[in-house]
């Protein structure tokens, strides 16, 4: 039940971030719904296909469809109350990657994958819904910028596997790893911490 709750919360967060991007782009209601949907389930769909978990989870669990529809309706109804759209988008996106990284790791553990593969799977789960969203909205995906994004997922995943070696409940390790991912991304953006950019302009 705990893991399902985390998955649903991540779905809500990413669906809302998809709605916000789609509304910034002034898409119609169908476009808003599609962007919210692919943002919410894109990473999880790729994850399930990679581990052979088909049909993918949202195809046999209607709760995900209803959750996305509810999140879309909520975001549309209350978008005028959101004063700082980009800050809100960043917040929901950051919460989403924290939650979905750990969902992906849990799926990897259930498939008996090695820890490093679980972390990769968690990063894919967290990142690729946003990648699809940004591509459809004609933006360079955030994961390909120098901004800390996938790195936060990897650090959170590593922290989880370190924490479960300690004599603490797995639920606390799971929740702490989510918070680490969220905090790493927030602090990286706040203090302009970024990965090195290998681009060099012509003539240098």
Does pLDDT of 195 surpass 50? yes
Per residue in 168-188, pLDDT (tens digit) is 999 999 999 999 999 999 999
Mean pLDDT of the chain: 90
Radius of gyration for the alpha carbons in the chain, expressed in angstroms and rounded: 17
pLDDT of residue 81: 72
Per residue in 73-109, pLDDT (tens digit) is 998 888 777 656 567 778 888 999 999 999 999 999 9
Instruction: Give alpha helix (H) positions in the chain.
Output: 2-24, 29-50, 57-60, 62-78, 85-110, 115-136, 150-163, 170-190
Q: How far apart are CA 40 and CA 10, in angstroms?
A: 8
């Amino acid at each position: 039940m705990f893991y399902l709750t985390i998955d649903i919360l991540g779905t809500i967060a990413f669906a809302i971030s998809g709605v916000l991007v789609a509304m910034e782009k002034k898409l119609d209601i169908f476009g808003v719904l599609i962007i919210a949907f692919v943002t919410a389930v894109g990473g999880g769909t790729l994850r399930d296909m990679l581990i052979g978990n088909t049909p993918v989870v949202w195809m046999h669990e209607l709760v995900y469809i209803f959750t996305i529809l509810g999140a879309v309706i909520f975001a549309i109804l209350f978008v005028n109350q959101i004063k700082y759209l980009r800050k809100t988008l960043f917040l929901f996106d950051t919460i989403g990657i924290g939650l979905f990284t750990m969902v992906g790791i849990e799926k990897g553990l259930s498939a008996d994958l090695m820890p490093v593969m679980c972390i990769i799977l968690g990063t894919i789960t967290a990142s690729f819904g946003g990648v699809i969203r940004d591509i459809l909205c004609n933006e360079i995906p955030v994961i390909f910028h120098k901004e800390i994004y996938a790195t936060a997922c990897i650090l959170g995943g590593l922290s989880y596997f370190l924490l479960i070696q300690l004599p603490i409940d797995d639920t606390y390790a799971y929740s702490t790893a989510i918070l680490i991912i969220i905090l790493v991304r927030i602090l990286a953006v706040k203090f302009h911490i970024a990965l090195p950019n290998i681009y060099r302009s012509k003539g240098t």
